[in-house]
Chains A and B, each alone.
Chain A
Amino acid sequence: MKRHLLSIDDVSADDVATLFETAAEMHDVQRRQVKKLPALRGRTVINLFFEDSTRTRSSFEIAGKWLSADTINITGKGSSASKGESLRDTVQTIAAMGVDALVMRHAASGAALQVSQWVDAAVINAGDGTHEHPSQALLDAYTLQRRFGSEGRLGSLEGRHVVLVGDLTHSRVFRSNVLCLTKLGARVSVVAPPTLMPSGVEPWSKELGFATSYDLDEVLPTADAVMMLRVQRERMGGGYFPSAREYTVGYGLTRDRLATLGPDVPICHPGPMNRGLEIAADAADAAQSLVLDQVSAGLAVRMSILYHLLAGEGSTS
C-alpha cells in the first residue's frame, strides 16, 4: 500500500481487499464492551479540518482513539491565503510537532496531494474540495460488500449495477466512488441533470467504464444498489436547476421510485441528507436503507486505513 491515501487511485483492488479484511476484524471490535486496541499506541494522528465536518472528523477521531493513537483535532475555517499564511507554512508548522498521520479536509481540490509533498507524515485525504473523498468511497463499497455477503463474509461487487444520483459536478463522493466501484468490478451508472454532470464526463466515462444518464427512471429498474448524493440547496442560486420541487421530480428517490425498487436493493447516502429533496423520508428510513450501516462501517474502514498506513502490513490479532 502507498504511504498516503489521497485518491482511490492510490489503492489497488488487492489493497482494497486487504483494507476490508482488516475492517471486518475492526468491525467486530465495535461490538465489544471495551473497544480499544493497542495497535497505534504512541502514534499521533492529527485531524486537520479546514472545512466544517462533523461525521467524517468524529469518525476518524474515534477510529484513531480505538486504535490507541493520540488523536488531536485542529480546525480552521477559510483558506490559509485569507489569513496571510501559505498552506505550506500552515501544514509544515503542524507537521513539525512530530505527527505520524495528517487526516486532512480542505475546501480546495488537490490540497491533500499538495500537502503530501510538503510533509513527512502520512496524509489521508478526508475530502479535498470537489475532488475526492477516498475513505467515504471505501466505506461505501465495504458497506455494499457486507450487504451482498452472508454470515459476516463480505460479498462481491463484481457485475453489480450501482447507480449514483445527484450533484455529480460538485461531489467528491461521486469522484471517489466511481473510481472505487469500477475498480471492484461493479457496473456503474451515474445520473444527474446535464447542469450537474461534470464537464468532459463523456471521454472519462468511456475510459473508466461507467455509464451516464439524464434519466433516473431509465436506469433505476436494473439497479442492484442506489447511492443518493447530497444536493446543496445553494446550487439553485447558481442556476443549476430551477427549483427543489423540479429536482425531486426528476432525480429524487421519491416514495414512488422507492416502490419500483426491489426490497433487496440497498439505498446508500453519505449524509447529511436533505430529506424531501434528493431522498424521501420513506426511502431514507426504509429497511433496505444502509445509511446508518455506512456510519458504523465508516469507523471500521477508517480504523483499517489508519492501521495499514501507520502500523504497516500484518494482522491485527
Chain B
Amino acid sequence: MTDQILVKGASLLGAASCDVLISNGVITEVGSVSAPQARVIEADGLVALPGLVDLHTHLREPGREDAETILTGSRAAAVGGFTAVLAMANTSPVTDTAEAAERVHDLGRAAGLVDVQPVGAVTRGLGGEELAELGLMARSRAGVRVFSDDGRCVADARVMRRALEYVKAFGGVVSQHAQDPDLAGPTSCCHEGELSGRLGLPGWPGVAEEVIVARDVMLARHTGSRVHVAHASTAGTVEVLRWAKGLAEKELHWDVTAEVTPHHLLLTTDLLSGYDPTYKVNPPLRPQEDVEALRAALADGTIDAVATDHAPHARHDKEHAFVDAAFGMLGLETALPVVATVMVESGLLDWAGVARVMSANPARIAGLGQHGHDLAVGSPANLTLVDPAATVTVDRDDSVSLSRNNPWHGRTLGAAVHATLLRGVPTVLEGKLV
C-alpha cells in the first residue's frame, strides 16, 4: 500500500500551477494529476518551493534547554518552512566530538520535524587553538561536513589554514564567523559609526569582518579548499566576495560561498538608539548602505544563501545593560516572510531565486543530498508551500520557539508559510504544526 499526498494547484517556484503527487516520500508525478486515493492538500494560490535549508541555527541543546531545545527549535524551523537546519556547535558541551555530533543528529531525528544536521566545531572547545576531531565527526553517523567555531572567529591564521587543508580529505567546508578579535573584541556590540559614537557603545567596525574574509579567501585559495562566510554584514565584505568569487570561478580548485541573515537584509543600526537588547546581535546591525549592498549581492549571486542565525535566549539573558546582554535574535519562523518582503516584493528575486538562496544553495554548501532538489519526479518530497498574498503582523507570543527575543515583533511582513512537508510527511499545515 502506498502513502500518497496530492498537492493540488500549486505554483511551482512561482511559475505555472500544477499538481504534485508524492508517493512514499518521493515526488512521483508533476502536472495534471489524478490520484483518487491520495490525501489532497489544496494549494491553489500557493507557491511551492523545495523545503528550505538553514545553514545557521543555534538550537541550544545541550546546555541551554531553557532557551531552546532541538525539539522546540525543530518546531520553529518547520513553521518557518524549513526541512533541514544546521545546528551550530557552540552548545555546552561543544559539538567537537563524533559522539556529541551524533547526539544532536539523533535528537533531531527523534524530533522528526526537520533534518537536524550538526555543525562540528573547528577547534576543540571553540578554543581557537587545537583542531577538533574533524575527521571523526565527518565519519560519524552524523556525517558532519560543515565546521564552524561560530560565536567566535577562528582568528589564528595558522589554525584556519590547517582546518581548511584538513577538511579537504572529506569534502568539508569551514564556515567562518569573521570577526578579528583585535579590531572587534568581546564587548563590541554596536556597528562602529555615528551611532556608536553618540551612544557611547563599544564599536564593531565593518573592517573587523572584512579583513578576516579577505584573509580567509586567500587561505582557501592557497590551500585549495572551501571557505564559507557566515552572516556577511558589510558592503566591504560583498566587495571582497565579488572579487574572490571571480577568481575562484576561473581557478576552479577552491571555492568561497557566503550567507546573509534575514535581519541584515532589513534591520539597521539605528534600531539600537533605545539600547534595546532585542536588537543586539553579532555581527551587529549595520547602516542602510550595507543593507542595500547585501540585498544586491544576494540578488546577483555574490551571496549564495540566506541563513537565519536563529539565536534564542532566555529573557533574563537579554534583560541586562546593553553591553552585558546576550547577542542574537530569533529567525527561523520569520526568515521566509522577511525574504519575501525584502527581495521578492522589491523584484530583486523571483520565487525561483528564493528557492535557490534558501534551499538549493544551502543544501549544496552543506552537502545535504536529500535537500534542495528541484520539484521534479524522483526528488525527495521536501516541500514548502507559501502563501505569497498573506500579510502577517508578527507577535512574539505566537512563536513556537521557547524564547521571545524576536526583533520582528509588531512588524508586518509579506507572505506566510502555509505548509511544510518533510519526505512527504506534512509537518506544518495551514501554518500550524501538525
Q: Which residues of A contact B (CB under 8 A)?
A: 79-81, 86-89, 106-111, 113-114, 128-132, 169, 172, 175, 198-201, 203-204
* A110 in contact with B199 (CB, 8 Å): yes
Partner among A79, A89, A130, A172 whose Cβ is within 8 Å of the Cβ of B324: A79
Complex Cα–Cα for A108 and B321 (A): 6
What are 23 of the A-B contact pairs (CB < 8 Å)? A79-B324, A81-B320, A81-B324, A87-B319, A87-B321, A88-B316, A89-B316, A89-B319, A106-B321, A108-B321, A109-B199, A109-B201, A109-B322, A129-B323, A130-B200, A131-B200, A175-B200, A199-B205, A200-B194, A200-B195, A200-B197, A201-B197, A204-B194
Annotate B316-339 by CB proximity to A: 1 below 8 A, 0 otherwise: 110111111100000000000000
B166 contacts partner chain A, Cβ-Cβ < 8 Å: no
Which chain B residues lie closer than 8 Å to A201 at the CB level?
194, 197
Complex Cα–Cα for A198 and B200 (A): 8
* B324 in contact with A114 (CB, 8 Å): no
* A204 in contact with B324 (CB, 8 Å): no
* A175 in contact with B275 (CB, 8 Å): no
* Chain B residue with Cβ nearest A50: B321
Which chain B residues lie closer than 8 Å to A89 at the CB level?
316, 319
Known contacts A87-B321, A199-B192; is A109 also within 8 Å of B197 by CB? no
B193 contacts partner chain A, Cβ-Cβ < 8 Å: yes
* A110 in contact with B322 (CB, 8 Å): yes
Which chain A residues lie closer than 8 Å to B321 at the CB level?
79-81, 87, 106-111, 114, 129
* A132 in contact with B322 (CB, 8 Å): no
Complex Cα–Cα for A198 and B323 (A): 17
Complex Cα–Cα for A106 and B316 (A): 18
Which chain A residues lie closer than 8 Å to B353 at the CB level?
none
Complex Cα–Cα for A106 and B324 (A): 11
Query: Closest 7 interchain pairs by CB?
Result: A200-B194, A110-B275, A108-B321, A198-B197, A130-B200, A131-B200, A88-B319
* A109 in contact with B320 (CB, 8 Å): no
Which chain B residues lie closer than 8 Å to A172 at the CB level?
200
Other than the given A129-B200, A200-B198, 18 more pairs (CB < 8 A) read A79-B320, A80-B321, A81-B325, A106-B321, A108-B321, A108-B322, A108-B323, A109-B200, A110-B275, A110-B321, A111-B275, A114-B275, A131-B200, A131-B201, A200-B192, A200-B197, A201-B197, A203-B194
> How many whole Å from B39's CB to the nearest CB in chain A?
48
* Chain B residue with Cβ nearest A198: B197
Complex Cα–Cα for A169 and B324 (A): 19
Q: Which residues of B contact A (CB under 8 A)?
A: 192-201, 203, 205, 274-275, 316-317, 319-325
Tell which of A86, A106, A204 has the most Cβ of chain B within 10 Å: A86
* Chain B residue with Cβ nearest A174: B200
* Chain B residue with Cβ nearest A131: B200
* B196 in contact with A200 (CB, 8 Å): yes
Which chain B residues lie closer than 8 Å to A79 at the CB level?
320-321, 324
* A199 in contact with B193 (CB, 8 Å): yes
Which chain A residues lie closer than 8 Å to B316 at the CB level?
86, 88-89
Known contacts A80-B324, A110-B201; is A199 also within 8 Å of B196 by CB? yes
> How many whole Å from A113's CB to the nearest CB in chain B?
5
Which chain B residues lie closer than 8 Å to A128 at the CB level?
200
* Chain A residue with Cβ nearest B323: A108
Which chain B residues lie closer than 8 Å to A175 at the CB level?
198, 200
Which chain B residues lie closer than 8 Å to A107 at the CB level?
321
Complex Cα–Cα for A102 and B328 (A): 30
> How many whole Å from A129's CB to the nearest CB in chain B?
5
* Chain A residue with Cβ nearest B197: A198
* Chain A residue with Cβ nearest B314: A86
* A200 in contact with B201 (CB, 8 Å): no
Which chain A residues lie closer than 8 Å to B200 at the CB level?
109, 128-132, 172, 175
Which chain B residues lie closer than 8 Å to A113 at the CB level?
274-275
* B320 in contact with A131 (CB, 8 Å): no
Partner among B192, B194, B320 whose Cβ is within 8 Å of the Cβ of A80: B320
Complex Cα–Cα for A169 and B205 (A): 15
* B197 in contact with A199 (CB, 8 Å): yes
Complex Cα–Cα for A86 and B197 (A): 26
Which chain A residues lie closer than 8 Å to B275 at the CB level?
109-111, 113-114
Complex Cα–Cα for A130 and B324 (A): 14
* Chain B residue with Cβ nearest A84: B316
* Chain B residue with Cβ nearest A197: B197
Tell which of A110, A131, A172 has the most Cβ of chain B within 10 Å: A110
Which chain A residues lie closer than 8 Å to B201 at the CB level?
109-110, 129-131
Which chain B residues lie closer than 8 Å to A109 at the CB level?
199-201, 275, 321-323
Which chain A residues lie closer than 8 Å to B319 at the CB level?
86-89
Which chain B residues lie closer than 8 Å to A199 at the CB level?
192-194, 196-197, 203, 205
> How many whole Å from B319's CB to the nearest CB in chain A?
4
Complex Cα–Cα for A204 and B195 (A): 9
Complex Cα–Cα for A266 and B326 (A): 45
Which chain A residues lie closer than 8 Å to B320 at the CB level?
79-81, 86-88, 108
Complex Cα–Cα for A293 and B203 (A): 35
* A200 in contact with B199 (CB, 8 Å): no
* Chain A residue with Cβ nearest B193: A200
* A204 in contact with B197 (CB, 8 Å): yes
Complex Cα–Cα for A108 and B189 (A): 12
> How many whole Å from A236's CB to the nearest CB in chain B?
17
Complex Cα–Cα for A88 and B192 (A): 27
Which chain A residues lie closer than 8 Å to B192 at the CB level?
199-200
Which chain A residues lie closer than 8 Å to B197 at the CB level?
169, 198-201, 204
> How many whole Å from B249's CB to the nearest CB in chain A?
36
* Chain A residue with Cβ nearest B287: A200
Complex Cα–Cα for A87 and B192 (A): 25
* Chain A residue with Cβ nearest B317: A86
Tell which of B193, B199, B274, B321 has the most Cβ of chain A within 10 Å: B321
Complex Cα–Cα for A128 and B323 (A): 11
Tell which of A81, A109, A129, A175 has the most Cβ of chain B within 10 Å: A109
Complex Cα–Cα for A200 and B198 (A): 8
> How many whole Å from B116's CB to the nearest CB in chain A?
30
Complex Cα–Cα for A204 and B199 (A): 11
Complex Cα–Cα for A163 and B317 (A): 41
Which chain B residues lie closer than 8 Å to A87 at the CB level?
319-321, 324
> How many whole Å from B234's CB to the nearest CB in chain A?
15
Complex Cα–Cα for A198 and B196 (A): 8
> How many whole Å from B369's CB to the nearest CB in chain A?
43
Complex Cα–Cα for A175 and B197 (A): 9
Which chain B residues lie closer than 8 Å to A130 at the CB level?
200-201
Which chain A residues lie closer than 8 Å to B205 at the CB level?
199
> How many whole Å from B197's CB to the nearest CB in chain A?
3
> How many whole Å from A275's CB to the nearest CB in chain B?
26
> How many whole Å from A195's CB to the nearest CB in chain B?
13
